[in-house]
Amino acid sequence: MKILIALLTAWLAIAPLAQAKTPGEVEIGSVLREAPMQGLSGPSRKLSEYRGKPLIINVWASWCAPCRMEMGSLDRLARRYGKQFTVIGISTDDYPEAARSFLQKSGTSFANFIDSKPWPLENMLGANRLPLTLLVDANGRVLAKYYGAKEWDSPQAVSIIAQTFGLKL
């Protein structure tokens, strides 16, 4: 019996957990719907205004340590490759002041927006865990979703981005 319990425990530890989808989540391969985005570090815009060029969307919160950890690498990525694709951030903070304060302290240069209740962007993008980064083609089609913090300007990440977008970086 102890062996059975040990095997079951080990299996549960490594088995992927079923993740519930967020309401209205756009699946990989589908096109993002139109959505207004409230400006956090600049003017408000519509999501469709970013069509025509590949787009990286990072969903984050100021209270999220992994989100804060990866923000610098996203900023370096945006500064280095901003001519080939655009990077934007979407904060899920309840308080815009907290998000703005974090952005000022971190010196983030790319455009950031804040989701508002009832969190239409968070739900559409599938942000049931943070951070979430989406790679979106020039036509608004979701090509990939990555959960968890990454070093986005690392050679490995840049290679994945280049391959996904079909770019030479």
pLDDT of residue 2: 55
**Domain ranges for the chain:** 37-165
Contact present, 91 and 123 (Cβ < 8 Å) = no
- Those residues of the chain that have pLDDT short of 50 are 4, 6-18
* 37-165 placed in CATH 3.40.30.10: yes
pLDDT at position 15 is 39
- Looking at residue 13, its pLDDT comes to 44
Round to whole Å and give the CA distance between 42 and 38. Answer: 9
Cα–Cα nearest to 56, from 33, 78, 25: 78
Indicate the pTM of the whole model: 0.87
Alpha helix (H) ranges present in 89-153? 96-106, 120-125
26 CB-side CA count, 13 A: 21
**Residue with tokens 């088995």, as numbered in its chain:** 15
Q: In a 3-state reduction of DSSP, which class is residue 102?
A: helix
